[in-house]
Amino acid sequence: MDFAVLADAFDRMESTKKRLELTQYLVELFEKTPQKVISKIVYLLQGKLRPDFEGVELGVAEKLAVRAISKSSGIPTGKIEDEYKRGGDLGHAASVILEQKTQTTFLVEDITVERVYETLFKIAKLEGARSQDMKVKYISSLLNDANPLEASFILKILLGTLRLGIAENTVMDALAIAFSGNKDNRRILEHAYNVSSDLGRVAETVSEKGLEGVERFGVVLFNPVRPMLADRVKSQKESVERLGGIFAAEYKLDGERVQIHIRGEKVVLYSRSLEDISSYYPDIIERIPKAVQAENAILEAEAVAVNENTGEFLPFQELMHRRRKYKIEKAVTQYPITVNFFDILFCNGKSCLELSYEERRKKLEKTVKEDEYARYIPMTIVKDESDVEEFLENSINAGSEGLMLKMTDKPYQAGSRGSYWLKLKREYQNELGDSLDLVVIGGFFGKGRRTGSYGTLLLATYDEDADLFTSICKVGTGFSDEDLDQLYQILQPKVTIKKNPRIESEMEADVWFEPELVIEVVASEITLSPIHKAAMDKVRKGAGLALRFPKFTGKIRTEKMADDASTNEEVITLYRGQKKVAHDKSLV
Ligand code: ATP
């Protein structure tokens, strides 16, 4: 398939934000796409090469892309950087530069989607000393044969700046229309996506085998299931009102969610955002097979740091010490954990998603044999507010964040934040009602003791409609010296030459970062702001929302992607709820 067809579709999609138009462009594109290419196109549309859980990362830095443009055009890197700074993004700059190309190529090979994809794949797999030079070579060979529009999209994919604003649901709408003639069939595709986490495979199947093929999708070992999430409640009263009758209450432990896939000795661990995190937990890989009494299973647990002597749960940030590539064995002994099981999604070759909570919990207790390392998450059946209060109190005393409240007769809803699971945290009962997970977009150099680090960070919410990161506050408190060191190590490689076009901020930072890292903050209040861009014009014309007295909680949320950060909608709800909470509190 000619890459020009895809570049042309990308170009049209970039020019609109309207969901209906985007869907229409996608339908037209899918109708022109051969079966064997459709999965590749679906990944590329999302700026990926493979589903997230396979961990294939493009990771090309801007500087390297500038070198490749220079090699292919014969124009010096300084001039390319100037063009880049002048406006647009590097993809756009490349198209302008290539128009003025001084070198001519004689042997022009066709640019097909397959060729671009294969080359990007090779680039992603390159490692080692010479990999940078090889990347430049591969990129420039593509640019040599590309026209300016194609070149601009090749670079955007490589740099991760292709922003078509296409949500997964829009892709599924378009697939349903293109291959079944009816948008309502998205439901069937959605189910397949929720159990497989692989939209490319869903697309390939529906294009080859139609809806019947997709209907046969089931849970498969070593292919993560999209996690079920919980809605938030602010009080015991609200939880009883929403769940009614008798329901289960579990401790909400403050660790890392781990989806454990196991068959015999083979164990693979996936995070909440479905990345393979097996290398951080060699202890789970080694010890869990002894506790699991089934031929194969998919289990969900919260891995929590513990004090080895007292068994007490420790806060989430203790787990951060395991986020390292080397000397992980040392971290395992220094920062011990327990694995606290709360669900079972697959057992002895069969899916458990359709079973009720009650049946799954029974199966879980049959499948996992408890020992001092593998535990069941503490659970009790509750029937009224005072039961919830009592268990909440116990859970907080044990070092947990609060409670998860679950309907006992409901199935596991993969990939959805529904009303069958609720979460109740103590901190929801403070004035603001919750902590926020914000994206780090900019940094300000520290002074005095903080020289050599970013003393203050500029943070943003996620604007779901526009697919942008909108500034909401600067935060300079709550950081220990160790936090500042760690954040500097993480953030320094994310510094960009120019502000990423997805960042909306009037405030100027000393340095801009790729919007990737998510950290947790608390604040005393949300106020209207003439400077910050979060929820601009939504509450009042000409004003955005800002956090008052924000403070870092110590949690770097490595398990969250930037678009899992708190959204403007959530912030508006918290803003509107501020006064109401005062009232609710008097009822608690
Ligand atoms: P939060 O910011 O509160 O962690 P989240 O957006 O990551 O929320 P939620 O569905 O809102 O996800 O909260 C559920 C999270 O709480 C899970 O992802 C899991 O890591 C953790 N957790 C702790 N204890 C439990 C439990 N008993 N059952 C389910 N999840 C639990």
Q: Is the CB of 555 within 6 Å of ligand 1?
A: no
Dist. CA 147 → ligand 1 center (Å): 47
- 10-residue mean pLDDT profile of the chain (588 residues): values are 95 87 95 95 93 88 86 85 78 79 60 95 89 91 89 89 84 96 95 97 96 95 97 89 93 95 96 93 96 97 90 82 79 91 98 98 97 95 94 87 95 92 75 83 83 89 92 93 90 88 92 95 88 93 90 90 94 79 42
Dist. CA 229 → ligand 1 center (Å): 7
Q: How far apart are alpha carbons 24 and 13 in whole angstroms?
A: 10
Dist. CA 302 → ligand 1 center (Å): 9
Residues 6+ apart with CB under 8 A from 366: 293
Q: How far apart are alpha carbons 319 and 377 in whole angstroms?
A: 18
pLDDT on residue 41: 97
Query: Where do the structural domains in the chain lie, given as residue ranges?
Result: 48-159, 229-425, 436-583
The CATH number assigned to the domain with range 436-583 reads: 2.40.50.140
Q: Which of 234, 252, 363, 423 is catalytic?
A: 252
Instruction: Estimate to the nearest angstrom the gap between the alpha carbon of 189 and the chain centroid.
Output: 21
Closest CA to ligand 1's atom 17: 257
Backbone angles phi, psi at 406, to 5 degrees: -135, 135
Dist. CA 277 → ligand 1 center (Å): 17
Closest CA to ligand 1's atom 16: 252
pLDDT on residue 172: 96
Helix or strand or coil: residue 398?
coil
Q: Is the CB of 423 within 6 Å of ligand 1?
A: yes
Contact 270, 277 (CB under 8 A): yes
Dist. CA 300 → ligand 1 center (Å): 11
Q: Is the CB of 250 within 6 Å of ligand 1?
A: yes
CA angle 56, 60, 64 (to 5 degrees): 155
Classify the C-alpha dihedral 441-445-449-451 as positive or negative.
positive
pLDDT on residue 418: 82
Closest CA to ligand 1's atom 30: 252
pTM of the predicted model as reported, rounded to 2 decimal places: 0.78
Cβ neighbours of 128 (radius 10 Å) = 7
Q: How is residue 140 annotated by DSSP?
A: H
HSE-CB for 295 with a 13 A CA cutoff:
3
Q: How is residue 511 annotated by DSSP?
A: E
Residues 6+ apart with CB under 8 A from 390: none
Q: Is the CB of 230 within 6 Å of ligand 1?
A: yes
Query: Looking at domain 229-425, which of 1.10.1040.10, 1.10.8.50, 3.30.470.30, 3.40.50.300 is its CATH number?
Result: 3.30.470.30
Q: How many helices (H) and strands (E) does the chain have?
A: 19, 21
Q: How far apart are alpha carbons 295 and 303 in whole angstroms?
A: 22
Task: Give me the torsion for CA of 151, 157, 160, 161, rounded to 10°.
Answer: 50
Active-site residue 252, yes or no? yes
Q: Is the CB of 360 within 6 Å of ligand 1?
A: no
Structure tokens at 320: 């951060």
Dist. CA 272 → ligand 1 center (Å): 9
Instruction: Among 404, 462, 522, say which to mutate for ligand 1: greatest number of ligand atoms within 8 Å of CB.
Output: 404
Instruction: Among 394, 423, 435, say which to mutate for ligand 1: greatest number of ligand atoms within 8 Å of CB.
Output: 423
Instruction: Estimate to the nearest angstrom the gap between the alpha carbon of 166 and the chain centroid.
Output: 15
- Residue count (the chain): 588
Residues 6+ apart with CB under 8 A from 493: none
Instruction: Among 225, 226, 228, 229, say which to mutate for ligand 1: greatest number of ligand atoms within 8 Å of CB.
Output: 229
Q: Is the CB of 559 within 6 Å of ligand 1?
A: no
Report the DSSP pairing between strands 503-504 and 544-548: unpaired
Q: How far apart are alpha carbons 412 and 496 in whole angstroms?
A: 41
Q: How far apart are alpha carbons 562 and 468 in whole angstroms?
A: 10
Q: Is the CB of 570 within 6 Å of ligand 1?
A: no
Backbone angles phi, psi at 329, to 5 degrees: -55, -40
Query: Looking at domain 48-159, which of 2.40.50.140, 3.50.50.60, 3.20.20.70, 1.10.3260.10 is its CATH number?
Result: 1.10.3260.10
CA angle 50, 34, 163 (to 5 degrees): 45
Beta bridge partner(s), residue 474: 458
Q: Is the CB of 149 within 6 Å of ligand 1?
A: no
Atom nearest to 251 CA in ligand 1: 27
Q: Is the CB of 4 within 6 Å of ligand 1?
A: no
Token pair 């647009």 is at which residue?
A: 88
